[in-house]
Amino acid sequence: MILFEGKILPDEQLDDVLEKLWDSCLMAVTNRKDIAKLVINACGRVSEKIKTGAYDPILWVLLEKGAFTRTQLEEAITFFDKENLQLKYDTELGVLKKGTEDDRKASVEKRLEPLGILFHIAAGNAEGLPFFSVIEGLLAGNVNILKLPSVDDGISVMLLHEMIKEEPALAPYVCVLDVASTNVKILKTLADMADAIVVWGGDEAVMAARTMASPSTQIISWGHKLSFAYVSAGVVEKVEDYEPELYDLAKHICATNQLLCSSCQGIFVDTEDETVLLSVAERFLHILEEVRVDYPREKIGIRGKVSISLYNEELESIHTGHRVLRGKGVSVIIGSDSELELSYMFKNCWVKPLQRKNIIKSLKGKKGYLQTVGLICTEKERKELAELFVKTGLTHIVRPKNMSQMLPGGTHDGKYPLRRYSRIIEVER
């Protein structure tokens, strides 16, 4: 599916669109206007339409498929409210737009401008992420070319099309193409058009973008991150009092299927006692199994892949020292090391020991990959533990229920995206 100049076109017209795209982008850059307010107003109206049920036939299908939960949909709708997008814009660019008193008195005018043309390579691990990426590019005033992920349900194209129908002046600033990741020739052509490539994905995706980009093209990466939960020593002593937070963590794991950068891959416990570790793992397995029934079951291919991985884990346990606890549709692997790693996902997590005194030593080596910790601790411990995790490089220290919550004015991995999509220029008066 293609979205070009405000129109939905069939994939068969890809060659025709590519012939026109560069001239279209140049025209949009040449005639560029301050479009932030248009974007905010258009998204606000689309958000209101979603609330009133205008898109229910499309959204209900995706809800039934388990593409996202009702809570995630409600959070996303709220995020794109007019007021919240305005807050995001003001938080990230407001100060830079206003400048300072010294700037105004100086002989050099400083002002904020977009980078120009962004080429977005979106990941398919979160429904609607391509739409989200383009909106951020638009808020900074850029022309946006979007390559859809290979797994896409069409929601991003639909929302972008609806937004353009609300504000037709945005049409020149958005082009969506469904191009295979193996079609290097076309991807390089698109990369050559861009001032910056926005990459959502892991190391391989970023490296692939670097091979396509010329030395003069920026790479703005939002790479895969690892997130986890931490159960403190104070909680271990009376873990039954903190079951509500363990239930919140289980709901988070089931809602995200551990596919997001902010998704909990496993639980570190402040202990070196194997008995304590087993107790926490068994208690959480029971909670995870109980919570799972409220969420869609995985496709048979995913279930098969996880089953093989768990079976292999059991075979290797004589060498690894790991122990696999299985439940119905869920599992918890007890590890003996303190290594932060990806889980098997889809409601399968690990539990490992990590004493407070070893937090920085164990996690600092994962610099660049750290994002969120869901902190389960006593209030007395919270400030000290939060400071320790800040020093490791983590950017979000929250309670388990908020690990994947989207906040207007919040950051991506500790950075403001709109600032990365902008430049400050100086013009002598």
pLDDT for res 202: 85
Q: Collapsing DSSP states into helix, strand and coil, what is residue 4?
A: strand
pLDDT for res 134: 97
Q: What is the mean pLDDT of residues 381-387?
A: 97
Strand partners, 426: 110
Burial of 357 from C-beta contacts in 10 A (0-12 / 13-18 / 19+): exposed
Give the pLDDT band of residue 106 (cuts 50, 70, 90). low
Q: What is the mean pLDDT of residues 294-318?
A: 92
12's enclosing H/E stretch is: none
Q: What is the mean pLDDT of residues 146-167?
A: 90
Dihedral (Cα; 329, 334, 337, 338), 10-degree rounding: 70
Pick 226-402's CATH classification: 2.70.170.10, 3.40.50.1820, 3.20.20.140, 3.40.309.10.
3.40.309.10
Q: What CATH number should be reported for the domain whose range is 2-224+413-428?
A: 3.40.605.10
Please state the separation of Cα 338 from the chain's center in Å: 25
For 401-426, write each residue's pLDDT tens digit: 999 987 777 888 899 999 999 999 98
pLDDT for res 110: 84
**Runs of H (alpha helix) within 90-236:** 95-98, 101-105, 129-139, 155-166, 184-193, 203-212, 233-236
Give the pLDDT band of residue 101 (cuts 50, 70, 90). very low
For 34-55, write each residue's pLDDT tens digit: 999 999 999 999 999 998 888 8
For 214-244, write each residue's pLDDT tens digit: 999 999 999 789 999 999 999 998 888 999 9
Are the C-beta atoms of residues 310 and 348 closer than 8 Å to each other?
yes
pLDDT for res 105: 60
CA distances from 418 to 147, 192, 329, 354 (A): 20, 22, 40, 36
Please state the separation of Cα 231 from the chain's center in Å: 24
The percentage of the chain sitting over the pLDDT mark of 90, rounded to a whole number, equals 73
pLDDT for res 155: 87
Give the pLDDT band of residue 96 (cuts 50, 70, 90). low
pLDDT for res 78: 85
Choice between 372 and 317, residue whose per-residue pLDDT is larger: 372
How far apart are alpha carbons 220 and 36 in whole angstroms?
A: 21
Residue 100 reports pLDDT greater than 70: no
Lookup: tokens for 304: 């098969």
For 243-301, write each residue's pLDDT tens digit: 999 999 999 999 999 999 999 999 999 999 999 999 999 999 999 999 999 998 888 99
> What is the SS3 string spanning 35-62?
CHHHHHHHHHHHHHHHHCCCCHHHHHHH
Residue 103 reports pLDDT greater than 60: no
Residue 384 reports pLDDT greater than 90: yes
How far apart are alpha carbons 59 and 72 in whole angstroms?
A: 12
Give the pLDDT band of residue 67 (cuts 50, 70, 90). low
Residue 130 reports pLDDT greater than 70: yes
Measure CA of the first residue to CA of the last residue in the chain; give whole Å.
Answer: 47
Parse the chain into domains and list their residue ranges.
2-224+413-428, 226-402
DSSP-derived letter for residue 415 is B
Pairing of strands 331-334, 2-4: unpaired
Are the C-beta atoms of residues 141 and 34 closer than 8 Å to each other?
yes
Please state the separation of Cα 226 from the chain's center in Å: 11
Q: Residue 92: how many CB atoms within 10 A of its CB?
A: 24
Are the C-beta atoms of residues 112 and 97 closer than 8 Å to each other?
yes
